[in-house]
Amino acid sequence: MRIVVCIKQILDPETIKVSRSLQAIDERTARRIMNPPDRWALDTALRFKDEDPSLEVIAMSAGRSEAEDILREALALGCDRAILLSDPYIVNARAAGLAMVLAAAIKRLRNVQLVMTGYKALDTGSGTLGPRLAIELGGWPLLMNADQVRLESGGYVSGLQNADEKFYASTYPLPCVVTVLETPKHPRYPHGAEIMNAYRLRSVEVWSTAALGLDPATLPAPTTSRQMRLPPPREFGVIIEGSPQEAARNLIATLKARRII
């Protein structure tokens, strides 16, 4: 049985700079990293593989050629294969088109029983790729925003779904799409030597839309992105003067007067 984990390369939110005067995000100094939530999805799949080495875990990413780096990292972590879907259509595609391309690649792999994604991409993401894939794959069940995901005997996957801050125990039959929540448990990171090996000894397969038998002309058109806007800076900012005791008393009194406490 095969498990596909969809991973995305994003700009590290920690390294991008915000320019208020330009009302823009300055990406020049930004690093490209694996979308953090996707690490938990990979980790979950690799845990299944630890328990059952016959499982084949395949990392897949759609995007620019630079995304090869995160796929190498996935190989270093222990994935069996890594596939990069890349061509001019894919680089500009929006969710509806991406889901079609990813689903076509997953179908081409055959015997994929489980597709895992992060619960959302931290850049422009919205957590919709998983549900979209579920439809594109032919209406697979969807275990969404799940924690403690387990493969159950008899061809089921179970987990706790978080919905509106509550958790529900759910079990779905395979094949299934699972979107994985981040949890405090640290996901695995590769060792340096494994990363070097992934570059020296392993290869990332690159597939294009055409190779998947899709015609970009028939794929969905994107929404147009108009502009960026930065949140307004917060208004006031009063420094409360005085000795620590005076300032503390003043602060508490002010908070009470403003009905904040």
Ligand X SMILES: Nc1ncnc2c1ncn2[C@@H]1O[C@H](COP(=O)(O)O)[C@@H](O)[C@H]1O
Ligand Y SMILES: Cc1cc2nc3c(=O)[nH]c(=O)nc-3n(C[C@H](O)[C@H](O)[C@H](O)COP(=O)(O)OP(=O)(O)OC[C@H]3O[C@@H](n4cnc5c(N)ncnc54)[C@H](O)[C@@H]3O)c2cc1C
157 DSSP β-pair partners: 151, 172
**DSSP secondary structure, 140-173, as one string:** --EEEEEEEEEEETTTEEEEEEEETTEEEEEEEE
Query: Which of 125, 141, 190, 216 is the binder for ligand Y (CB under 6 A)?
Result: 141
Residue 73 interacts with, from ligand Y, ligand X, other proteins, none (CB under 5-8 Å by kind): none
Residue 173 interacts with, from other proteins, ligand Y, ligand X, none (CB under 5-8 Å by kind): ligand Y
User: Is the CB of 72 or the CB of 120 nearer to ligand Y?
Assistant: 120
User: Is the CB of 155 or the CB of 222 nearer to ligand Y?
Assistant: 155
Contacts to other proteins from residues 231-260, by CB under 8 A: 231, 233-234, 236-240, 244-245, 247-249, 251-252, 254-255, 258, 260
- Residue 103 has phi, psi (to 5 degrees) of -65, -40
Is the link from the previous residue into 173 a cis peptide, with omega within 30 of 0? no
User: Is the CB of 139 or the CB of 232 nearer to ligand Y?
Assistant: 139
Size of the site for ligand Y (CB under 6 A): 10
Site string for ligand Y, 162-201 (x = CB under 6 A): -xx-x-x--xxx----------------------------
Q: How far is the CB of 28 from other proteins (least distance, A)?
A: 15
How deeply is 245 buried, as exposed, middle or buried, from its count of CB atoms within 10 A (0-12, 13-18, 19+)?
A: exposed
Name the site residues for ligand X (rule: CB under 6 A): 6-8, 35, 37-38, 41, 61-63, 98, 117-118, 120-121, 125-130
Residue 63 interacts with, from ligand X, other proteins, ligand Y, none (CB under 5-8 Å by kind): ligand X
CA angle (102, 129, 186) in 5-degree steps: 100
Residue 226 interacts with, from ligand Y, other proteins, ligand X, none (CB under 5-8 Å by kind): other proteins
How deeply is 246 buried, as exposed, middle or buried, from its count of CB atoms within 10 A (0-12, 13-18, 19+)?
A: exposed
Q: Does 134 bind other proteins (CB under 8 A)?
A: yes
Nearest to 116 by CA among 146, 82, 72: 146
Do 43 and 188 meet the contact criterion of CB atoms below 8 Å apart? Answer: yes
Q: Which residues bind ligand Y (CB under 6 A)?
A: 141-142, 156, 163-164, 166, 168, 171-173
